[in-house]
Structure 1
Amino acid sequence: MPMPPPPDLAGLSLADIARLAAERRLPPVDQWHPDRSGDSEMRIAADGSWYHQGDRIDRPEMVRLFATILRREADGSHVLVTPAERLAIAVDDAAFVAVELKSEGEGPARRLAFRLNTGDLVIAGPEHALTVVERADGPHPYLHVRGGLQALIARPLFYELAEIAIAEDHAPAGVWSDGAFFTLEPAA
């Protein structure tokens, strides 16, 4: 069955986005523990591009399909898992990239919806926390997606979040989403 194209956030309300996110049915990868394992010879680059044996996977439908069977293991590694096999996949930074942001409301009533490079929709909140990690090249903001999988928040979106934080003048600087407050300052 072909994967549907990703939705455009601009034409959706946050209620529509929440409904679409809730309706998304993913395979129960956390329940699959096959004996057969190996290497997928795949890699997710820091910019969210997927590669197989060094060649970029240019079909968005394939990337979206593979993303549905992606799992993060307890040791921090990533695998593609089916009931029959578990294949290692290299991930340079985060499994996903948040590429679009939609905000509704203000202060504690604000809700922030993100579209990932795979088309998935995630509303930041208690189950989908925002965190910032300081690295030598500056802050790296992340959104928890599912089961330990993270999305790197694209730099332009981080600037949008910073503008919201500055306008709302929170101390520490941060943003509200779905009833939870997230600091934009790097974790210590």
Structure 2
Amino acid sequence: MVDSANFENIASYLQQFAHDRTIPPLEKWNPDYCGEMDLVIKANGEWWHEGRPIRRQKMVDLFAKILWREGDEFFLKTPVEKIKIQVEDAPLLISAVDQIEVDGKQYLQMTTQNQDVFILDADHPIYMRAFNGELRPYVKVRYELEALVQRNVFYHLVNYGELSEMSDGTCLKLRSGDIEYVLGMSE
């Protein structure tokens, strides 16, 4: 188990990125595994360290920049250490969606609660999957990390899309650029 000193060391390291939303080149870093930290990203998006919620959003935003996924395991990754953390569901939440126009085409732009901004496209698809028996919408963000689309954002997506009745139930059809996404509402 990694102690609180590592939490502070990582926080200190991340201060250099505090005013920059750029995601570090995590794919180029190959640090040694340093153990586990008592850090849990709850299914509701809250970050907890040693049994207490992290209340400083800027700290959460900094840690979100160095989130890394390998299979079903999640880590905080720096150039010198890789520390395993726990994630109950998706490590990120989609907090906003907007429809934007680029070169005459309409796109859906997503924003996470940590200020990742991207367009729904082939690299960032939206899809449905079950969590605790409930079908929920998710989006691929970066480095195989996914974000849960919050309920209020999903209502905005319904306004941007079209509800259709299919043989297996209701679905939501969304278009972003040339890609159409079909989200089934039943399993």
TM-score using structure 2 length: 0.78
Aligned residue number for residue 109 of structure 1: 105
| Range that drifts further, 157-166 or 84-93 | 157-166
Q: 2:161 aligns with which of 160, 165, 170?
A: 165
Aligned length: 166
Structure 2: runs of 5 or more not aligned: 1-15
Identity %: 30
Pick from 53, 63, 67 the counterpart of residue 64 of structure 2: 67
CA contact (8 A) 2:26 2:77 kept: yes
Cα distance, 1:135 vs structure 2: 4.7
Contact kept in structure 2, 1:44 and 1:90, CA below 8 Å = yes
Which amino acid is 2:55 matched to? D
SS in 1 for 2:58: helix
1:79 aligns with 2:78: no
| 1:132 and 1:142 in contact (8 A); partners too | yes
- Cα distance in 2 for partners of 1:66, 1:187 equals 35
Structure 1, residues 140-175: CA drift from partner, whole Å, max 9, x if none?
1001100110000001222222333326x6976310
Gaps of 5+ in 1: 6-23
Paired residues of 1:131 and 1:186 also in contact (CA < 8 A): no
| Larger strand share, 1 or 2 | 2
In 2, Cα distance between the equivalents of 1:3 and 1:178?
Answer: 33
Q: Do 2:135 and 2:186's aligned partners in 1 also have CA atoms closer than 8 Å?
A: no
Is contact 2:97–2:157 with CA below 8 Å preserved after alignment? no
Q: What TM-score, normalized by structure 1, do the two folds share?
A: 0.78
Distance in 1, Cα, partners of 2:46 & 2:93: 9
The equivalent position to 2:41 in structure 1, one of 30, 39, 44, is: 44
Q: Higher Cα Rg: structure 1 or 2?
A: 2
State the alpha-carbon separation in 1 of the partners of residues 83 and 134 from structure 2. Answer: 32
SS of the residue aligned with 1:173? strand
- Alignment partners' CA distance in 1, 2:186 and 2:177: 21
Distance 1:28 1:170, change over 3 A: farther
Amino acid in structure 2 at the alignment position of 1:42: L
Give CA-to-partner distance per residue, 1:166-186, whole Å, 9 cap, x none.
Answer: 26x697631011321111116
Aligned counterparts of 2:158 and 2:43: Cα–Cα separation in 1: 22
**Larger RCO (CA under 8 A, 6+ residues apart):** 1
